[in-house]
Copies of this chain bind each other. A is one copy, B any other.
Amino acid sequence: MIPEDLVNKLLLNDRRSVARSISIVESGNLKAGELIKKIYPRVGKGYRIGITGPPGAGKSTITNQLTKLLRKENKSVGIIAVDPTSPYTGGALLGDRVRMTDIGQDPGVFIRSMASRGSLGGLSKMTIDAADVLDAAGNDFIILETVGVGQSELDIVKAADTTIVVLVPESGDSIQAMKAGLMEIADIFVLNKADRPGAEQAVAALKTTLMMKEHDEKTWLPDIIKTVASENVGIDKLAKEIFRHHQFLIDMNLFFAKRGKQAKNRIKEIVENKIRHELWSEEGENSLNYFIDKVVPGSLSPYHVAEEILTNYKNNF
């Protein structure tokens, strides 16, 4: 049971209650759903910004500078930073986050790091739940920052109203690798460290690729913003572009359509996640192990076993 007191304090943006609520959604158990159900009527006012890109592109620095800019306009900001963790060290690849000492003390900013390790495919589910918590707490902006290396990371930033893909002049190789996915999700491209050699070529290459995108008047065409985030260069332009994108979504009647599409994906993930938990409980794993001894030598095919499991699952309800 979720205590009413926790919910009430969360809605008043009490920091400890926000932190506790995020821990609840992070645990991924039934309580997460209970909490979201209770706060959902108060969710939806915060504007969600997704920031992704290859490691070392400067995503944290951009998040930091953008947050400072929003704070100057007296907007409150909640940040979820999804850190990939190494299976060897168990720690975050990125180490201690520099910005913690910078904006972390500001009462108008709430930062939470989430590890992508061992989330059993529920990473985007729990990140979006956490964004709802920050939203219900009254944050004007919610920034979801994640390294763009895998599908579940991309799923996170797809849940934003405006998605920013950060690249650097050197990321040619990574761009190639991730092109398909990144092109699809980017509302704004940032070329960070734009004072480095190769910046103009990188922008030109990106523009060429962008021009190949099919579009009509209702298609937002991503612009490329050059920044040097460490020196706060270009962040104001980035903020303007975010607001321009927001306005475009509203003008074109796309804002709620986009949120509807995201809600659909989210519901699907909640349903599938629930089923996975029910299927592969200890009992389910045991019955699977029982079959495996027949599958490996070839006397029973994986499809036979799958049908058996599915029939059992349905008959149990």
Q: Which residues of A contact B (CB under 8 A)?
A: 33-34, 36-37, 40-44, 54-56, 84-89, 93, 117, 147, 149-152, 170-171, 173-174, 176-181, 183-184, 209, 212-213, 256, 259-260, 263-264, 266-268, 270-272, 274-276, 279-280, 288-289, 291-293, 295-307, 309-310, 313-315, 317
* Residue from the list B151, B212, B303 in contact with A151, Cβ < 8 A: B151
- With contacts A301-B36, A303-B37 taken as known, whether A295 is within 8 angstroms of B310 at the C-beta atoms is no
| Interface pair B270/A306, CB less than 8 Å apart | yes
Task: Enumerate chain B residues within 8 angstroms of A275, measured Cβ to Cβ.
Answer: 272, 275, 310
The docked-state distance in angstroms from the alpha carbon of A296 to that of B261 is 9
Task: Enumerate chain B residues within 8 angstroms of A266, measured Cβ to Cβ.
Answer: 302
Q: Taking chain A's interface residues, is the majority helix, strand, or loop, or is none over half, making it mixed?
A: helix
Task: Enumerate chain B residues within 8 angstroms of A171, measured Cβ to Cβ.
Answer: 173
| Interface pair A298/B55, CB less than 8 Å apart | no
The docked-state distance in angstroms from the alpha carbon of A54 to that of B209 is 20
The docked-state distance in angstroms from the alpha carbon of A151 to that of B120 is 12
Task: Enumerate chain B residues within 8 angstroms of A152, measured Cβ to Cβ.
Answer: 151
* Residue from the list B93, B271, B310 in contact with A306, Cβ < 8 A: B271
Task: Enumerate chain B residues within 8 angstroms of A89, measured Cβ to Cβ.
Answer: 212
| Interface pair B291/A267, CB less than 8 Å apart | yes
Determine how close the nearest CB of chain B comes to the CB of A48; give it in whole angstroms: 13
- With contacts A272-B272, A296-B256 taken as known, whether A267 is within 8 angstroms of B177 at the C-beta atoms is no
- With contacts A36-B302, A275-B275 taken as known, whether A295 is within 8 angstroms of B260 at the C-beta atoms is yes
Give the residue name and chain of the B residue nearest to A170 (CB). Answer: B173
* Residue from the list B37, B296, B317 in contact with A259, Cβ < 8 A: B296
